[in-house]
Amino acid sequence: MGTTSEALNGKRMFLVPAVGPATAETVDSVVVKDRRFEFFTDSTKVAIIRPAYFHRTFSQDLLVVTEPGEIEVTIDTISSSRGTKLNNLLQQWKTKTEEHNRIYAALLKRAGMDLKAGDSASHRHLRQVADSVHNAYTTMTRAMTDSLDDGPLKQFLRRLYPVKTTTK
């Protein structure tokens, strides 16, 4: 079940598989009425909820797991989900991912400015800090993934953050 901003009222909302082909057989859609919409699925998968192409300016796509239970989503400039074990966990990961992306991008931007200004020492230092932030985020994501039972979310995150293997 979902709610949206007024800007999406009367617009079509799509449930698109996050992995695999997006075809007429795999994509579902509904029209938002009174700022509300609802999807019904009979399979557990990782999917993306998004409005029709021309209306995406008003909202952030949302990654969800279509697991049994009631999932409450908000599609807006900042989208969110809650209500089931995997969607609660996915929302926590989304929050940490957005925080990582803000910090990482700011560090890289500053490092680039320092390099352009000729400050190679500061550039190297900021790149090391950015790498450290990214490595901590990757480690956190892999640990979260390891804690999951086998299923679509674990498989999805493994594709994004594969476990590194070492060779001799």
Digitized pLDDT (tens) for each residue of the chain, 168 residues in all? 999 988 899 999 999 999 989 899 999 999 999 999 999 988 899 999 999 888 878 789 999 999 999 999 999 999 999 999 999 999 999 999 999 999 999 999 999 999 999 999 999 999 999 999 999 999 999 999 999 999 999 999 999 998 876 666
Instruction: Look at residue 55 in the predicted model and tell me its pLDDT.
Output: 80
Instruction: Look at residue 163 in the predicted model and tell me its pLDDT.
Output: 80
Instruction: Look at residue 99 in the predicted model and tell me its pLDDT.
Output: 97
Q: What are the extents of the domains in the chain?
A: 2-81, 85-160
Residue that is written with structure tokens 């279509």 in the block: 66
CA distance linking residue 96 with residue 27, whole number of Å: 28
DSSP 25: T
Instruction: Look at residue 6 in the predicted model and tell me its pLDDT.
Output: 87
Instruction: Look at residue 164 in the predicted model and tell me its pLDDT.
Output: 73
In 3D, which of 130, 131, 132, 140 has the Cα closest to residue 161? Answer: 140
**Which strands, in side-by-side order, build the sheet including 36-37?**
36-37, 2-4, 72-75, 80-82
pTM of the model: 0.88
The angle at the Cα of 75, spanning 106 to 87, to the nearest 5 degrees, equals: 85
